[in-house]
Amino acid sequence: MLLTIDVGNTSTNFGIYQDRSLCANWHMGTNQERTSDETGIMIVQFLHQAGLSVKDIHHVILCTVVPPVMHSLLNAIRKYLGREPVLVEPGVRTGINIRYENPREVGADKIVNAVAALKLYGGPVIIVDFGTATTFCAISERNDYLGGVICPGIKISAEALFEKASKLTRVEIAKPRHIIGRTMVTSIQSGLVHGFVGQVDHIVKMMKAELVADRLISVPEAEIRVVATGGMARLIGAESATIREVNSVLTLEGLLIIHEMNREPGEKAK
């Protein structure tokens, strides 16, 4: 079995693959103060809850955008699973050509998402990732990572609103029944949900137009796929006029694909 780990700024996502099928996955908060023993014990407990043991894990691959957690996480994997993990970093085969001015500025999660989106949906593709930040990444049909857009995420935008506006109360981020709110709660919910739907659709439409106008792709706008992932992907994707696919485990799927690309010749998938 393969253990895939996606370390984000807010949460860390784990997935277990057997025969290329996701058979278990879970999340835990990303904590830079967590020790390797704490992390290792939590992983073992999660495996136990899924009816698995450390002996079932033959390979581990991970990507991260939070370098400070890597020391404890790598030590936890080595100590509690007895495996040497593959880290998605320069030198690992991905098949993606990074056209950013400084390729090292592109987060590993964006490359992993690009690998998965191209494999599962084909290119050209725009990937919208609803994480701590909401990111938009443009990938050509030639596997070129062309660049993107980075915006504040929904949750941190909401927290900024609640912190700076003392009379506004914290609310659940959910779609209200009406666009025109009739209470403070529904007014805030409408602004959060529909505001971000509008942001997504506007940015995606502008990106599509620029990709075609600058001849960065060779197909018309209508053939550019838009894939969403991340915590708010289903909520915003259900309302968006531009998002066509929602895949909440896109990064884990990308890690699986990259692991297969980097296996030693003759090594069997487990």
Phi, psi of 123 (to 5 degrees): -115, 165
Strand order through the sheet with 245-246 = 97-98, 144-152, 133-139, 125-130, 225-230, 245-246
Residue of 109, 129, 201, 214 with catalytic role: 109
Identify whether 214 is a catalytic site residue. no
Total residue count of the chain as it appears in this document:
270
The residues, any chain, with a CB within 8 Å of residue 240's CB and separated by 6 or more, are 197, 200, 201, 228
DSSP 65-120: S-GGGHHHHHHHIIIII----EE-STTS----EE-SSSGGGS-HHHHHHHHHHHHH
Residue with tokens 């941190």: 156
Give 230: exposed, middle or buried? Use CB within 10 Å, 0-12, 13-18, 19+.
Answer: buried
Q: Catalytic amino acids?
A: 109
